[in-house]
Structure 1
C-alpha cells in the first residue's frame, strides 16, 4: 500500500517542506549548472527563513491552492509540494517539486492535479524547469512552454546610460500597478504587491502615460519583477536595476517577446544563456514583462 498522502498544506508542514525544497532545488541547480558559472551553494539560513515566510504568506492568502505530499513511512515528512495561488482571473504556481527518490510514482501528477483543480479553469502561468517528466506533465495539462533566457555577469559600468523619469515607489502606486498588470497578464498581483513592497526596493515611472515598475532585490543583486506599458520604459527600469547591482547580477525569465531585455543585457556586457520555460495556459505571452519566479 502506498504510504504517501497528498493533502492540503498546513503551517506545521513548512519546516519539513522547506528542507525538501532546499534539497530538491540544490540538486536541480547542480545538474543544470554551466561550467562557466560559480559553484552552486546550498540555501542559506536566511534563505530558508525567507522561504518559510513566503509559504506562510501563501497559506494565509489563498490556502486552498497549497498542497503537500507526506510519507507516513518518514514520520509524515513532506516529500513533495505544489503551492499555487489565485489572483483575480489568473492562477499561478509559485513552487512545485517532488524529492528525487520519490519521482516516477505519480506523486507529482497528484499534486499538480490538486493545484490545477484550484485554478478552476483560470488562465495560468509559472516558471518551469527543463525536467523531462515535469514538462511532459505541463504540456499535457494544456500549457504552452515558452523558452526563457537569462543573462548573467558583472555590469560594465561604462555602458550605463543616464536614466531619467523614474522615482522610488510608494504604497499609493499599487493601484495603478495592478491595473498595468491587468493589461499585461490579465489580472493584478493584488496582495503580492504589498508583500514585495515591504521587502524589496520599488522603482516606478514618473510619467503615468508611460507606466512601469520594477522590484529590485538588493540582497540578490537583481530585478525580480518588471512590468511596463512599452519597451522604452521597460529598458529604463532594467538599466536602473543594473546600475544598482554590485558584482555578479542576473536578469532572468526573458521570453522571446521580451528582446528589449536582451538588448539591455548585451549592451551591459552580460552573458546570455537558456533557462527553462515560462508555462502559459489561456493567456498570451506577457510583454514588456519579466516575471518573478515567486509571484509570476
Structure 2
C-alpha cells in the first residue's frame, strides 16, 4: 500500500469510498427507532468541493492505494492560522490496518505550524479515540431538526441576501472566530446555500430551504436574527446540525421554532475554544 497526493482523477473514486464508509457507519450506529440509513444519493456536490480542494490545498489531500485501487482518503485545508480536516475515510472492511493513521499523518503535515485545528466528527467511537489521541478536544454537537412553527417567527429581521462584495468582511469575521477566512471556500458554501447577511455587517449565514450550512456573527443578538431568517425561508423539514453548547442561543431559537433537539457527533478542536456565535459547516468548518 502507498499513500500519495490525491489528483483530480482520484476524486470520483474518493467520493465512492466516502459514501460507502459513512453509509456503513450509519448502519453500524443506527438505533432501533431510527429510519433505515440511505447511502448518499448524489455525490456531485462532494465531487465539486473536493476538486476545488485538490486545486487550492493539494498538499492537504491524500489517497491510500493498494494494488492500483484507492482504498482510503483524507482531505484538508489550511486558512492562515487554522488547519481543518475536511474528509477522512477508509473503504469498509479495510479499517484497522494502519491505513487511516498514515492518511491522517500525511494530511496533518499540511497544517504544520498552524496554532489552531478543527474537524467535525461523527459519533463513531473509533474515530473519537483517534482524534483524541491526535490532541483534539471533542465537544459534543447537537442538532435541531423538524418543521418550523411559522407562528413563532418574529417580524422583519434586518437581514438581506449577500453578494460577492461582502466576502472581505465575512473573511474578517471568520478570522475572529477561527483564525482564518473561508476565502476560496465561499464558492462551495454558496453552492450549498444562499448567502444572508445582517444589514449592519455584524454577521452572515449560508442556508438552503432545507438546512443551515454555516453561520457567524459578532454577537448573539445578530446570530439569533440570522437563524430566524434562515428558519423563515425553510421549506419542509429544516436541519441545523452542528451546534455546540458554546452556542446555546441556537438551541433557544430552534426550540422556540418547535424543532427537535438531539445529539450528533463532535466538534474537534486543537489550540482553540469552541467559536461563538458560530455554527460551522460540517466539511469546511
TM-score by length of 1: 0.92
1:291 matched to 2:256 = no
Measured after TM superposition, the shift of residue 37 of structure 1 is 4.7
| Contact 2:157 2:228 (C-alpha < 8 Å) held by counterparts | no
**What is the RMSD of the two structures over their aligned residues, measured on CA atoms?**
1.4
What is the aligned counterpart of 2:87 among 95, 100, 105?
95
State the shift of 1:35 in Å. 4.9
Q: Which moved more, 1:194-203 or 1:150-159?
A: 194-203
- SS of 2:43's equivalent in the other structure is helix
Cα separation, 1, equivalents of 2:145 and 2:226: 17
Q: Deviations over 1:57-105 (max 9, x none)?
A: 0001110000111121xxx222111100111111101111112211111
Q: Per-residue deviation at 1:161?
A: 1.2
CA distance in 2, matches of 1:246, 1:34: 27
Q: Is the aligned partner of 1:59 residue 2:54? A: yes
Q: Aligned match of 2:208 in 217, 238, 256?
A: 217
- Residue-by-residue CA offset, 1:27-48 (whole Å, 9 max, x unaligned): 222333455554322222xx21
**1:163 touches 1:239 (CA, 8 Å); kept in 2?**
no
Partner of 1:172: 165
Q: Name 1:271's counterpart in structure 2.
A: 260
Bigger Cα displacement from structure 2, 193-202 vs 254-263: 193-202
Query: CA shift at 1:190, angstroms?
Result: 1.0
Cα shift at 1:199:
5.1
Give 1:206 shift: 0.4
In 1, the alpha carbon distance for the partners of 2:30 and 2:161 equals 35
For residue 65 of structure 2, what is the aligned residue in structure 1?
70
Aligned to 2:77: 85
Cα distance change, pair 141–121 in 1 and its aligned pair in 2 (3 A): farther
Moved more, 21-30 or 278-287: 21-30
Q: Is the 8 A contact 1:71 1:77 kept in 2?
A: yes
Residue in 1 that maps onto 2:39 = 42
Report what 2:27 is aligned to.
Answer: 30
- Quick one: which of 235, 245, 249 aligns to 1:246? 235
Is the Cα contact below 8 Å between 1:186 and 1:283 reproduced in 2? Answer: no
Check if 1:228 corresponds to 2:217: yes
Partner of 1:9: 6
What is the match of residue 144 of structure 2?
Answer: 151
CA distance in 2 between partners of 1:135 and 1:295 (Å): 19
User: What is aligned with 1:193?
Assistant: 186
Measured in 2, the distance between the counterparts of 1:206 and 1:279 equals 32
| Aligned equivalents of 1:112, 1:23: Cα separation in 2 | 19
Contact 1:168–1:203 (CA under 8 A) maintained in structure 2: yes
**Displacement, 1:130?**
2.2
Bigger mean CA deviation after superposition, 140-149 or 156-165: 156-165
Partner of 1:141: 134
Is the CA contact (8 Å cut-off) linking 1:171 and 1:194 kept in structure 2? no
Structure 2: unaligned runs, 5 residues or longer: none
Q: Please report how far the alpha carbon of residue 254 of structure 1 lies from its aligned counterpart in structure 2 after TM superposition.
A: 0.4
Give the drift of 1:107.
0.7
Q: Which residue of 2 aligns with 1:21?
A: 18
Look up the SS of the partner of 1:41 in the other structure.
coil
- In the alignment, the residues of structure 1 paired with residue 214 and residue 17 of structure 2 have an alpha-carbon distance, to the nearest angstrom, of 26
Q: 2 CA distance for matches of 1:111 and 1:262?
A: 35
**Match of 1:282?**
271
Confirm or deny: 8 A CA contact 2:214 2:281 kept in the other structure. yes
